[in-house]
Amino acid sequence: MAAADSSVKFSVLHRTCKLLVLLCFLHISVTLVFYVRSLDTTSAFLHHLHQHNTTTAPATGNGTGTGTGTGRSKPPVDVPKEEGEKKKGLDKCPETSPLLVGPLRVDFSSPLSLELIKENNGQLEPGGRYKPKDCEALQKVAIIIPFRKREEHLKYWLYYLHPILQRQQLDYGVYVINQDGDEIFNRAKLLNVGYTEALKDYDYDCFVFSDVDLIPMDDRNTYKCFSQPRHLSVSMDKFGFRLPYKQYFGGVSSMSKQQFLTINGFPNNYWGWGGEDDDIYNRLASKGMSISRPTGEVGRCRMIRHDRDRKNEPNPQRFDRISHTRDTMTKDGIKSLSYQLVSRLTMDLFTNITVDIGRP
Ligand SMILES: *[C@@H]1O[C@H](CO)[C@@H](O)[C@H](O)[C@H]1NC(C)=O
């Protein structure tokens, strides 16, 4: 009996011990869990306190406050910096834009309202500026348009060109260089002014010089710069979609900043119609450069028909001038340019620069 009794007692003790060990284990576990959780909340609390400190520290203006403030304000400052780096780190746009559509219908039969033109250009920034949102443009292009009293032509130009230039994924700005007064017109000098004024805005590395009345008929004719000066308006309807002569450099052309500076820019002394484009050709030929061109198919463009403007009569001196380009180009050019800026207006679709360029 005694043996059986003690064995029962032992078994009870054994169970009690087991239970106790289990309870102890449970207790430790729960304590541990709460301990860890309390650690989190204190650190969160400290963190909160810490941010609160940094935001209020500058307001208190005392030395130690700002001192610790600058030390601790690092994390909030780092966040926008990372975002900035992401934006900077945009991939370069491809060599050929995937947005191009090829041949375009261009017609000048119906007049355009400014509203219609603006509807077409939702992406534009003030001054007629644009850059692609999802890639980094390969070139920064200033488009220079010599101008006087051709508002209707400018409307067509803006209507057609802005969507094309955006599909070409260019980082660009449009500069209309308006010759003030009623003196005889000087296209090349206005182009020199455009080069100078555009560089006051932005670090452009490419310049496209375009007459206001020429519209490309194919968006694969990219308004950018190439390893040689580029002639873009190679097959104009006016000339039966052919090049009038091999050295022709009129209408629309482009030059990198480097190419432009190599030829000392353009001549300033061609007043009236004609000759300045041949002078420009002579300048680049004398520096060993050649003309780069798109194919006749891609380079098709349409000219808005008009009567010749008054005060832009053919320049009788042009043939004599052209024959002396090599002697005159070092003295006459971007280095000797002088003019008076009359006004500079940031319009929605372009930058309007009015200048007094003097008289012959
Ligand atoms: C550009 O500004 C001048 C000077 O204010 C103004 O006379 C001219 O009409 C403007 N040109 C265009 C195309 O808006």
What DSSP string runs through 231-244?
Answer: E---EEGGGTTB-S
Burial code (b: 16+ CB inside 10 Å, e: under 16) for 56-74 equals: ebeeeeeeebbeebeeebe
Domain that holds residue 245: 125-304+313-356
Of 5-14, 113-122, 335-344, where does mean pLDDT reach its minimum? 5-14
The pLDDT assigned to 5 comes to: 57
The residue assigned the tokens 């709460």 is 34
What DSSP string runs through 148-214?
Answer: SS-HHHHHHHHHHHHHHHHHTT-EEEEEEEEEPSSSPP-HHHHHHHHHHHHHTTS---EEEEE-TTE
Q: What is the pLDDT of residues 257-284, one digit of tens each?
A: 999 999 999 999 999 998 999 999 999 9
Residues counted in the chain: 360
**Domain-embedded: residue 70:** no
**Domain-embedded: residue 231:** yes
Over range 138-160, report the average pLDDT: 96
**Domain-embedded: residue 158:** yes
Q: How far apart are CA 321 and CA 268, in angstroms?
A: 11
The continuous run of DSSP H or E covering 67 comes out as helix 63-72
Q: How far is CA 278 from the centre of its chain?
A: 31
Q: Whose CA is nearest to atom 11 of ligand 1?
A: 352
- Choosing from 114, 341, 352, 353 the residue with most ligand 1 atoms within 8 A of its CB, the one to mutate for a pocket test is 352
Nearest alpha-carbon partner for 208 in 84, 216, 200: 216
CATH, residue 245 = 3.90.550.10
Q: How far apart are CA 272 and CA 184, in angstroms?
A: 6
- The proportion of the chain whose per-residue pLDDT surpasses 70, expressed as a percent, equals 79
Q: Which residue has the higher pLDDT, 106 or 45?
A: 106
Name the phi and psi angles at 74, rounded to 5: -60, -50
Q: What is the pLDDT of residues 33-84, one digit of tens each?
A: 566 555 444 444 444 434 433 333 333 333 333 333 333 444 444 444 444 4
Answer for the pair 298, 220: CB distance below 8 angstroms, yes or no: yes
The residue assigned the tokens 């808005």 is 304
**Domain-embedded: residue 268:** yes
What DSSP string runs through 254-284?
Answer: EEEHHHHHHTTS--S---SBSSHHHHHHHHH
Q: Whose CA is nearest to atom 7 of ligand 1?
A: 354
* 138: confidence class by pLDDT, cuts 50, 70, 90: very high
Q: What is the pLDDT of residues 219-255, one digit of tens each?
A: 999 999 999 999 999 999 989 999 999 999 999 999 9
**Domain-embedded: residue 180:** yes
Which tokens is 159 given?
């209507």
Q: What is the pLDDT of residues 214-227, one digit of tens each?
A: 999 999 999 999 99
Which residues lie closer than 8 Å to 160 by C-beta, 6 or more apart? 104, 106, 215, 216
Which residues lie closer than 8 Å to 116 by C-beta, 6 or more apart? 159
Over range 114-137, report the average pLDDT: 90
The pLDDT assigned to 9 comes to: 64
Which tokens is 112 given?
């355009």
Q: How far is CA 233 from the centre of its chain?
A: 23
Ligand 1 proximal residues by C-beta, below 6 Å: 151, 154, 176, 178, 343, 345, 352, 354
Ligand 1 centre to CA of 176 (Å) is 9
Q: What is the pLDDT of residues 274-329, one digit of tens each?
A: 899 999 999 999 999 999 999 999 999 999 987 777 788 899 889 888 988 988 99
* 17: confidence class by pLDDT, cuts 50, 70, 90: low
**Domain-embedded: residue 2:** no
Residues annotated catalytic, as ranges:
211, 213, 273, 276-277, 303, 306, 308
Ligand 1 centre to CA of 275 (Å) is 27
Q: Whose CA is nearest to atom 12 of ligand 1?
A: 352
The pLDDT assigned to 110 comes to: 86
Ligand 1 centre to CA of 148 (Å) is 9
**Domain-embedded: residue 27:** no
Ligand 1 centre to CA of 204 (Å) is 24
- Mean pLDDT for all residues in the chain: 84
Question: Model pTM?
Answer: 0.76
**Domain-embedded: residue 140:** yes
Instruction: Count how many domains the chain has.
Output: 1
Which tokens is 17 given?
């011990």
